[in-house]
Amino acid sequence: MASEVQAFDLLLAVLLLWLAWRALASADLFKAVVQYIVFGLLLALAWIRLGAPDVALAEAAIGAGLAGALLLDTLARIGRAGVRDEARPLRLTRRRAGVALAVVGLAAALVAVLLALPPAMPGLSAEAMAQLERSGVSNPVTATLLNYRAHDTLLEIGVLLLAVLGVWVLDAEPRLDQAEAPAPLHWLVRVLLPLAVVVGGYLLWVGAHAPGGAFQGGALLAAGGVLLHLARPFALGSGWLVRLAAVGGFAVFLLVGLAMLLLGGGFLHFPPGQAGTWILLIETAAMLSIALMLVVLFVGRSRGAG
């Protein structure tokens, strides 16, 4: 990561802003969603440029990939009529003027804050690196997610679980009327699904010492699942096994944390020697749960094939 601004950065910056505006202002929502997906991929590039490969992986897989798939699926279900919006959807009207003014004011204040910042600041990196050996992993981002700030991650998995619960509460949706999936899709699934499983597992394993981790691995597994559903739709329902798989990651996380408490250390307090093993255990359970939950968010409660 070079710390100098290069021509590439200027281009990327302009593209990001332009694509975001197009995505928000396009009258045709299909175009808007596609532009948003491309925006997401460019955002992943920006993360790489800013030295955040873990985030880039997560953004590409979850932010652009799965979110994009969900958006497109929704567009397909709301049909032609719902997709077309008025010609200039963000046109400044009297009603919107107040919001626009406030937003511009906020932006100006933020720019002023940015310009007033000193060129370098300690942040938390020194501390994070210093404690890295005790954390059980050598990737500082994984150390932060699964050790230093594990409480955040536990709750975050809870958020995903709540989204799944919400989707389950909403009534089952009818299956989309669609033609038999085209042959290339079946071929693609045959190739990509095993690849997704292998790469997902690899990302989990390698996350301990290189960019990767449970979320990225889980998202990749989920991508494989979504592909499978597109080629050969299936229904997951909300039976006991599915519920167990969905809550498994959260449960393992909570129980390991409790075990640490009962063994005398403290809630989510991993003894330095064993930390790596516990983290791997939690991450494996979390990856499988996350993958399932993301697939459930896509598949919903659609009545199955046939």
Partner 1 sequence: MNAESTLLALLVLPLLAAVLSLLVGRRWLGWLGMLVALLLVVLAVRFALQVAAGGAVAVAIGGWAPPLGIALRADGLSAFMLLVQSVVGLGVHAYALAYFAPARRAFWAAGWLLWGACHALYLSGDVFNLYVTLELVGLGAVALVVLGGSGTVAAALRYLLLALVGSMLYLLGVVVLYLEHGNLDLQALGTLVQPGLASSVAAATMTLGLLLKAAVFPLHVWLPPAHAAAPAPVSALLSALVVKAALYLVVRLWTGLFGELPAAGVALSLLAGLGAAALFWGGVQALLQTRLKPMIAYSTVAQIGLLALVLPLLQGGAVAWNGLMLLVAAHALAKSALFLCAGVVQRQYGHDRIAGLGGVGMQLPLTATAYFVAAVSLVGLPPTMGFFGKYLLLEAAIAQSRPMIAAALVLGSLLTAAYLLRPLALGFTEAATRQAPRTAGLGLQLPGLLLALAALLALLVGAGTPLWRLLAVGMPA
Partner 2 sequence: MSLALLYGLVGVGLVAMGLYAALAARHLLRRLLGFNVLGAGVFMLFIAHATRAVDAAGRPDPVPHALVITGIVVAVSATALALALLRRLHARHGRPTLPEDREG
The 3-state secondary structure of 178-222 reads CCCCCHHHHHHHHHHHHHHHHHHHHHHHHCCCCCCCHHHHHHHHH
- State yes or no: residue 280 binds partner 1 (CB under 8 A): no
Residue (98 or 306) nearer to partner 2, CB: 98
* Binding test (CB under 8 A) with partner 1, winner from 16, 45, 73, 131: 131
Spatial distance between the Cα atoms of 68 and 44, rounded to a whole number of angstroms: 14
CB atoms within 10 A of CB 229: 20
* Binding test (CB under 8 A) with partner 2, winner from 11, 78, 241, 259: 78
Residues 264-303 that bind partner 2 (CB under 8 A): 297-298, 300
- State yes or no: residue 87 binds partner 2 (CB under 8 A): no
Using CA atoms, how far residue 299 sits from 59, 72, 176, 207, in Å, is 21, 13, 11, 28
Residues 217-276 that bind partner 1 (CB under 8 A): 240, 243-244, 246-247, 250-251, 254, 257-258, 261, 265-270
Least distance to partner 2, CB of residue 160, Å? 5
- State yes or no: residue 228 binds partner 2 (CB under 8 A): no
Using CA atoms, how far residue 239 sits from 175, 183, 203, 236, 256, in Å, is 19, 32, 29, 8, 25
Closest CA to 142 of 214, 192, 45: 214
CB atoms within 10 A of CB 248: 16
Residues 21-40 that bind partner 2 (CB under 8 A): 21, 23-25, 29, 32-33, 36, 39-40
- State yes or no: residue 163 binds partner 1 (CB under 8 A): yes
Q: How many Cα atoms are found within 13 Å in the side-chain-facing hemisphere of 145?
A: 24
* Binding test (CB under 8 A) with partner 2, winner from 38, 41, 75, 210: 75
Q: What are the backbone dihedrals phi and psi of residue 140, each rounded to the nearest 5 degrees, phi first? A: -65, -30
- Residues making contact with partner 1 (CB under 8 A): 106, 109-110, 112-114, 116-117, 121-124, 127-128, 131, 147-152, 154-156, 158-159, 161-163, 165-166, 168-171, 240, 243-244, 246-247, 250-251, 254, 257-258, 261, 265-270
